[in-house]
Amino acid sequence: MAEATAIGRPAAPVLEGRPGDAELTDALLSPIFQPGPRVARGWLLLVGLAVLATGVFGVAIGATLTLGIGAWGNDIPVAWAFAIVNFVWWIGIGHAGTFISAFLLLLQQSWRSSINRLAEAMTLFAVVQAGLFPILHLGRPWFFYYLVPYPATTGVWPQFRSALPWDAAAIFTYLTVSFLFWYLGLLPDLASARDRAPTRLRQRLYGVFALGWNGSMRHWHRHRIAYGLLAGLATPLVISVHSIVSLDFAIASLPGWHSTIFPPYFVVGALYSGFAMVITLLVPVRRAFGLERVVTARHLDALAKLTLAMGLLITYAYVCELFTAWYTGDLYERYVAFVSRPLGGFAGAYWLMLACNVLAPHLLWLRRVRTRGLPLLGVAVLIQVGMWTERFVIVVTSLSRDFLPSSWGSYAPTWVDWSLLGGSIGFFGLLFLLFLRVVPFVPIAELKELRETRPEGLEATA
């Protein structure tokens, strides 16, 4: 009854009706092999848009590499701005996937099965975006490898007291482990795709990536062990990655950055935006591919509740930050907390952040909002805007008002900054759309197993 306590009564089913194995398999493979014409057309249209946005991304990257960081709005004192904000935002979004699949797997939350692969894919693609920005953001990106310990003729190594090599290690590890975890989970379904492929070519392609999976008990056993172990490893990893990202700021002495609350604060924020992103993707996908029976109201409800919980936690973090700033009595901390953020040049961003992150989630107290697609989608989008703004407030506002009033400055983004943000969203969308049509985005085998092992979820009706 794990999910009973976790989700609460009355529990909508995690799988509606009782489709047979064959039926289930074909239904879940249809997006790849025989999607409806409407779906196919819509998909092509969206891909077109995404390609366009990705093109803009490319142009902006080109401008950055040829003109230098001067093409951005950054200055002294605001030496970090959009690029870092985007990086933290994307890496944060990338946290929900692994959390959902790994953490909930350990908690044996059966409802995760319908959505975990989609969430993991989102994680991968988000981390890819996140990984681009720290490199683009370097003054001399072509020397990024100076951050990697390799025996150079100069004899110089990276400086491991800085949080940036930690960052590099964390992102690399996270990207690798997320991919392994995702691919391992995908293996049986690649085999199904191989065995149902309509053309010889596709059969061979899926066959290659299935690596010879034959569904023998020998395979299943080892698969289960390895998958469980990876889940166990991924869970603390998720926590560690955003903690380390937060240290990029926390180890600095800058008022508004130098705070011990940052690691938990950032992890919560990451999951918050991550869940919001899962909802943002799940709602339209579920609708477009007619998967209401597989991704049920129950899933939306559960996700919404998790999001709400994170919203309350982030509110708590904000309050703590303000209290600490006041309680330390530190002149500079107080100035950032009570003057430059709420009243300064970027006050608009600050209040937008509060509106989106603190007020909006309270709509999720309403079951109607939790279980209906559109309203839920609206809240999710607001939260993502809010989380991006939060990082902007942390990075830019703190930098623009530091210790010496003489060096106070401002910041104004250029078209390159905006294009990089928009372009990365487009690129993310492109990768995700391709994913939808290339691999089964709902784990088939897991659902079959679920159908066998958890009948009680099926008896109840929505």
Partner 1 sequence: MEDESERRALSRRAFLQLVTAAAATAGTACFRSPLDTLVPYVERPPELTPGVGTPYATSFELDGYATGVVVECREGRPIKVEGNPLHPASGGAAGVHEQAALLDLYDPTRARALTRDGEVASWSALSAALRSGAADGTGLHVLLGPTASPLVAAQLARLRERRPRARIHFFEALPPAPTVALASEILGRPLQPLPDLGRARCIVAADCDLFGAEPFALRHAADFAAGRRVRRPSDPMSRLYALGPTPTPTADAADHRLPCTGRAVPHFLAALLEAVLRAEGAPGELTQALAPIAAAAPHAGTIERIAGDLRAHRGEALVVAGRGQPAVAHALAWALTDVLGGIGKTLSFTEPLLADATNRDETLPALVDAMASGAVERLVILEVDPARLAPPALRFADAVRRVRDSVALAPHRNETAALCRWHAPSLHALESWGDGRALDGTVSLVQPLVRPLWEGCTRAELLAALVDDDAASGRALLRTAWAAEGRDAEEAFTAALARGVVEASAARRPAARIRLDAVIRMAGEAAAAETPRDGDVELVFRPDPALHDGRFAANAWLQELPDPVTKLTWENAAWLGPETARGLGASDGTWLRVAREGRSIEIPAIIVPGHAEGSVTLLLGFGPRSHLPASHGGGVDVTPLVPAGLPLASGLVTRVEGRPPHRLARTQQSQRQHDRSVARERTRESLEAAEAPRPLDAFYAPPQGDPPQWAMTVDLTVCTGCSACVVACQAENDVPVVGRDEILRGREMHWLRIDRYAEGGDAAPRTVSQPMLCQQCELAPCEYVCPVEATVHSRDGLNDMVYNRCVGTRFCSNNCPYKVRRFNWRDYQADVPEVTRLQRNPDVTVRARGVMEKCTYCVQRIRRAQIRARRDARPLEDGEVRTACQQTCPTRAITFGSIADAQSAVSRTRAAPQAYAVLEELGTRPRTMYLARVRNPLPGLGVDG
Partner 2 sequence: MSGWIAAFSSADGALAAARQLRDARAGRIELFAPYPVEGVEEALGDTRPRWLPRLVLAGGVLGLVLGYGVQWYTTVVSYPLDVGGRPLHSAPAFVPISFESVVLGAALAAFVGFFASARLPRLWQPVFEVPGFESATRDRFWLAVVPTSSDPAADLGATLVDLGAERVEPLEGAP
> In terms of CB distance, is 152 or 211 closer to partner 1?
152
Give dist(CA 397, CA 337) in Å, integer: 10
Residue 344 · residue 397 · CB < 8 Å: yes
For residue 92, count CB atoms less than 10 angstroms from its CB and return exposed for 0-12, middle for 13-18, buried for 19 or more: buried
Handedness of CA 145, 148, 151, 153 (dihedral sign): positive
Residue 345 DSSP class: T
Number of residues in contact with partner 1, rule: CB under 8 A? Answer: 51
Q: Is 156 in the site for partner 1 (CB under 8 A)?
A: yes
Among 47, 187, 252, 385, binds partner 1 (CB under 8 A): 252
Coil, strand or helix: which one is 139? coil
Query: Using CB under 8 A as the criterion, what x/- string covers residues 21-50 for binding partner 2?
Result: xx--x-------------------------
Give dist(CA 273, CA 94) in Å, integer: 9
> In terms of CB distance, is 139 or 155 closer to partner 2?
155
The minimum distance between CB 60 and partner 1, in angstroms, equals 16
The minimum distance between CB 152 and partner 1, in angstroms, equals 10
Other Cβ atoms closer than 10 A to 200: 9
Site for partner 1 in 50-69 (CB under 8 A): 67-69
Q: Is 132 in the site for partner 1 (CB under 8 A)?
A: no
CA gyration radius, the chain: 23
Q: Is 6 in the site for partner 1 (CB under 8 A)?
A: no
Structure tokens at 74: 């950054």
Q: Is 326 in the site for partner 2 (CB under 8 A)?
A: no
Q: Is 17 in the site for partner 2 (CB under 8 A)?
A: no
Report the partner that residue 199 touches, choosing among partner 2, partner 1, none (CB closer than 5 to 8 A by kind). none
Q: Is 217 in the site for partner 2 (CB under 8 A)?
A: yes
Give dist(CA 118, CA 113) in Å, integer: 10
Q: Is the backbone of residue 2 left (phi > 0), alpha (psi -120 to 50) or beta? A: alpha
Comparing C-alpha atoms, which of 383, 410, 251, 210 is closest to residue 313?
383
Report the partner that residue 9 touches, choosing among partner 2, partner 1, none (CB closer than 5 to 8 A by kind). none
Among 117, 194, 242, 299, binds partner 2 (CB under 8 A): 194
Residue type, 106: L
> In terms of CB distance, is 133 or 213 closer to partner 2?
213
Please report, as ranges, the residues that interact with partner 2 according to CB under 8 A: 20-22, 25, 149, 155-161, 163, 165-166, 169-170, 172-173, 176-177, 180-181, 184, 188, 191-192, 194-196, 207-208, 211-226, 229-230, 233-234, 236-237, 240, 244, 247, 444-446, 448-449, 452-453
